[in-house]
Amino acid sequence: MKRSRSSRSLLANGSTTTTTPASAAAPLNPLNPPATPVAPPPLPPDVILPPVVGVPPAQPNRAVARQIRGPQSALTDFLASKNINANQIRVDANNRRAAALVAQQAAAGGNDNEDNEDPDSEPEPVPVRRKNESKAQETKRKKEEEKAIAKIKASKKFRRQRKQYGSEADNTDEDEAARAIFESSMAPLPDQLDNCELCGKRFTVTGYTRKGPDGGLLCPKCTKDLDKEEGSALKKKKTNQGRARRKIQSNLLDGIYPGAKDLMTLCIETLAKNVDQADDFGDLPPSLIDRLAAILSKKRLLNPSTFNLFLRPDFENVTVYDGAKLSSDDYIRIFQIVPKVKSVRLRNAVQFKNVVMDHLLATTVELESLSLHGANLIDDERWERFLREKASHLKVLKVSYTDGHFGDETLGVLAETCPKLKRLKVCHNQKVTDAGLLHIAKLPNLGQLSLDIYNNTSSGPYVEILSKVGRGLRTLSLAAAHYVDDTVLSAIHQNCQNLSKLRITDNEVFTDQAFANLFTDWNNPCLTYVDLHKCRHIVANEPCENPEGVGFASLGFEALMKHSGRTLKHLNVNSCRHISAGAFEAVFASGKNYPELEDMNLSFCQFVNDLVVGCIFRSCPKLKTLKVFGNFGVRDVRVPKGKILIGVPNALGMQIEGIDDHDEATGHVI
Amino acid sequence: MVSNSNNGMSKYVTLRSSDGFEFVVLREAACRSGAIRRMLDPKSAFREAAASVCTFEEINGIILDKVAEYFYYNHKNRNQEDVPDMDIPPELCLELLMAADFLDSLFTVCSSLHC
């Protein structure tokens, strides 16, 4: 490739004919030295300029050259005032063209064209951008380059990279590495043209262009060849490692401990993989069938054909964990094939619509339990008919994500027609209001109640429900009741005497003192499941201040653990930010023991740190998973074997300590 | 089969299938199944404990072979984190699942009674 300076200036002069033919000739005329500020004498129009090639090189003195000019456009004037020279742009373009030409000729097999260019310029591999610069510019550039390289060498990122890869790379010369980084940062940007390092061909640089062995860029064809040569071994190894790590983390989130899987999991996974070959599940016990249904749904394998495996005339339960791929006809099939079905549990059952409901109403199926999630196409009229005609046997009704359906009137009908109802769940409901909630108080046999109403609700109806049916409740779940107040907590304290599961979430009114009062001297057996997440004070400008003691905080936490610590299995106090470090340390102090606690979520409780986590592992022998997302005080805690710590804020994840303490305590072995 | 030593606790136990196949397995490995551990517990008065032989009337030789293989797979990998899954032939899957359910569920029942 020829990119000599003389050829450049030569072309530069040749290309000055920019504006009009008459004026363009001016700077070229050897009789008019560019330095003279005098305007050129007007040339007769028939003057023919000598051919460009062969004109002796003029001094590239742009500042002066600008003085001698003919009429020029406003744009040129403006650009000139900004120190942008149309000439220079043209020159560069011509140079590139020339370089491409030379490259083509070289590729065509002839080196004999070289004498077209300046003979004394060595065909040294000078990078493209150095082709047109003066001595001063060169020294300046070199200086800047050195500066940039020194800067790269001093940067933290560079040092870290060196640390990481230093041992494996042989050519670990620091200067070289720094220069490589510098050059890669200076390489042509996407959409610009460059010459291929190997074949010299001209090509467009894209984001996917890869580097050659000497640091230059490669054209797509050479890239392909090089890729083939190297093979993808290196790349594959890296992605496999990443995949394995991700798999372990994903398993941890699912509560699967790293290490050998138990035999049942292995079998179920194999079965899920080969489900298309299965004709029948044989005599699998219902619990296993349920697990299979769950894992098939998780792998998105539940479709009309695999769904048949779960439909057998003698079944009493049909569970679909994800019915997104099932059509209305499939849902109708449930009632055709399994006429004795007592319990239907369907999630994401969007296609369970009016047609299916009409079919159900026309059958003799007597459901005891109906759980529908996402069936938002059943209108209120159908719900009412269902409740009037089919609800006399109903013991369990769970309805969630029904959008604009299943409102106050429907709950009113439910209270009339379902005296036996033991379990009611109305979640993610956009239609029910305070008036509808009051109907729930008329269900005397209610044992389990879950409410998650999107409309703003007030305390009154909840207090009414609790005073009427609170005594019999074993489960109470009030999610997203944002503005109900302490009267609800005191109603729980007064009325509930059989609770084992309590969930009150997402509230910013309850006070810590009210929580403490609830759990102090409460005439209720110890709870086994407590979820109080997001019961906390929110003020954006003063996040740490909580003068009113709003939310579930230190007092409530200590009172809860004192009341229920003996039997508590699941505890979720996610985002209860005002539980103090002192409260955690007091609750999990060395003498304390929480023998049943298996699963705890302390995410976003800002005072949870290494010490607290260590104390928790000490006082909870059965603990399996502990979640600590967003707790930056947890840095370097050693996790005893058999326990899972999720959400440690570093890339390594949890560090396991010790060996398998294989005894009676560890439950799942095979 | 295996001579009893060390006050009746041999290092190996025998698992016998419904069709008469016998598998001699490390006691430690076999005891990873709760059911077998309960059967062989010297404190319990089961006949299996005395003889160190467990007979499974509902599990045939082919399945018990896989189960024994799993015991050793599990035993070998007990302290590893990144373990490749054991290969399970799809045709044995359902029966093996039943066996696994049996071997583990017995344990859960026992332990909950025990508590």
A506 vs chain B: nearest CA distance in angstroms? Answer: 36
- Please give the residue that has the higher pLDDT: either A104 or A330: A330
Pull the structure tokens for residue A543: 């996040």
Residue in B36, B38, B94 to test binding to A, most A beta-carbons within 10 Å = B94
* pLDDT per position as a tens digit, A647-662: 887 756 666 665 544 3
* pLDDT per position as a tens digit, A493-544: 999 999 999 999 999 899 999 999 999 999 999 999 999 999 998 888 887 8
List own/partner pairs for A174-177 with CB under 8 A and 24 or more apart: A175/A149
Given an 8 Å threshold on Cβ–Cβ distance, is B111 in contact with A667?
Answer: yes
How many distinct structural domains can be found in chain A?
A: 2
* pLDDT per position as a tens digit, A448-484: 999 999 999 999 999 999 999 999 999 999 998 888 9
- The answer on pLDDT for A18 being more than 70 is no
> Which residue of chain B has the CA closest to A596?
B115
Q: What is the pLDDT of residue A170?
A: 46
By three-state DSSP, how is residue A356 classified? helix
Q: What is the pLDDT of residue A215?
A: 73
User: E strands within A410-497?
Assistant: 423-429, 448-453, 475-479
- Helix-, strand-, coil-residue percentages of chain A, each rounded to 5: 40, 10, 45
Which of B77, B78, B103 shows the shortest C-beta gap to A670?
A: B103
* pLDDT per position as a tens digit, B98-115: 888 888 754 433 333 333
Mean of all residue pLDDT scores within chain A: 79
Is A119 in the same domain as A196? no
Residue in A251, A256, A267 to test binding to B, most B beta-carbons within 10 Å = A267
Residue in B63, B93, B110, B112 to test binding to A, most A beta-carbons within 10 Å = B93
Alpha-carbon A383 to chain mean position: 38
Is A148 in the same domain as A76? no
DSSP code per residue over A407-435: -HHHHHHHHHH-TT--EEEEEEESS--HH
Are β-strands A644-646 and A655-657 bridged in parallel, bridged antiparallel, or unpaired? Answer: unpaired
* pLDDT per position as a tens digit, A250-276: 877 777 777 778 888 888 888 888 888
- Residue A127 and residue A179: Cα distance in Å, rounded? 13
- Contact predicate A642/A662, CB 8 Å: no
* pLDDT per position as a tens digit, A82-101: 777 777 888 888 888 888 88
- DSSP count for chain B of H helices, then E strands: 5, 3
Pull the structure tokens for residue A656: 């396991």
Pick the last residue of a domain from A94, A128, A162.
Answer: A128
Given an 8 Å threshold on Cβ–Cβ distance, is B83 in contact with A261?
Answer: yes
- Contact predicate A665/A622, CB 8 Å: yes
Pick the last residue of a domain from A233, A262, A284.
Answer: A233
Q: A307 lies in a domain?
A: no
- The answer on pLDDT for A195 being more than 80 is yes
Number of C-alpha atoms within 13 angstroms, CB side, residue A139? 2
Is A25 in the same domain as A82? yes
Is A122 in the same domain as A9? yes
Q: Name the burial class of residue A134, with classes exposed (0-12), middle (13-18) and buried (19+) by CB atoms within 10 angstroms of its CB.
A: exposed
Interface check for B109 against chain A (CB to CB < 8 A): the answer is no
- The answer on pLDDT for B62 being more than 80 is yes
ipTM above 0.95, yes or no: no
H/E stretch holding B54: strand B53-55
B66 vs chain A: nearest CA distance in angstroms? Answer: 10
Pull the structure tokens for residue A204: 């467009």
Asked which of A118-122, A225-229, A241-245, A635-639 is least confident by mean pLDDT, the reply is: A118-122
Is A106 in the same domain as A146? no
Is A112 in the same domain as A187? no
Pull the structure tokens for residue A616: 């928790």
Which of B81, B82, B97 shows the shortest C-beta gap to A271?
A: B97
Q: What is the pLDDT of residue A165?
A: 55
- Residue A278 and residue A267: Cα distance in Å, rounded? 13
- Residue A200 and residue A219: Cα distance in Å, rounded? 9
> Which residue of chain B has the CA closest to A262?
B74
A276 vs chain B: nearest CA distance in angstroms? Answer: 11
Interface check for B93 against chain A (CB to CB < 8 A): the answer is yes
Average pLDDT over residues A49-70: 48
> Which residue of chain A has the CA closest to B107?
A667
- Work out the number of other CB atoms within 10 angstroms of the CB of residue A120: 7
Q: A225 lies in a domain?
A: yes
Interface check for A656 against chain B (CB to CB < 8 A): the answer is yes
Q: What is the pLDDT of residue A67?
A: 58
Interface check for B108 against chain A (CB to CB < 8 A): the answer is yes
- Contact predicate A654/A639, CB 8 Å: yes
Pull the structure tokens for residue A206: 């894209």
- Contact predicate B93/A267, CB 8 Å: yes
Q: What is the pLDDT of residue A100?
A: 83
Is A115 in the same domain as A97? yes
Given an 8 Å threshold on Cβ–Cβ distance, is B32 in contact with A662?
Answer: yes
Asked which of A219-223, A383-387, A391-395 is least confident by mean pLDDT, the reply is: A219-223
Alpha-carbon A403 to chain mean position: 27
Q: What is the pLDDT of residue B21?
A: 93
Given an 8 Å threshold on Cβ–Cβ distance, is B108 in contact with A277?
Answer: no
Asked which of A137-151, A428-442, A598-612 is least confident by mean pLDDT, the reply is: A137-151
Given an 8 Å threshold on Cβ–Cβ distance, is A288 in contact with B107?
Answer: no
Is A62 in the same domain as A156? no
- CB-based contacts of A484: which residues, under 8 Å, 6+ apart? A457, A458, A459, A462, A478, A507, A509, A510
Closest residue by Cα to residue B26 from B86, B67, B72, B76? B72
Q: Report residue A79's pLDDT band, with 50, 70 and 90 as the boundaries.
A: confident
Q: Report residue A334's pLDDT band, with 50, 70 and 90 as the boundaries.
A: very high
> Which residue of chain A has the CA closest to B89?
A270
Is A14 in the same domain as A122? yes
Number of C-alpha atoms within 13 angstroms, CB side, residue A486? 14
Structural domains of chain B, with CATH? 12-114 (3.30.710.10)
Interface check for B43 against chain A (CB to CB < 8 A): the answer is no
Which of B33, B67, B77 shows the shortest C-beta gap to A259?
A: B77
Q: A217 lies in a domain?
A: yes
Given an 8 Å threshold on Cβ–Cβ distance, is A670 in contact with B100?
Answer: yes
Pick the last residue of a domain from A191, A214, A233.
Answer: A233
Average pLDDT over residues B48-73: 88
> Domain range for residue A88?
5-128
- Contact predicate A558/A583, CB 8 Å: yes
Dihedral angle, C-alpha B91, B95, B101, B106, nearest 10 °: -150
What phi, psi does A528 have (nearest 5°)? -110, -20
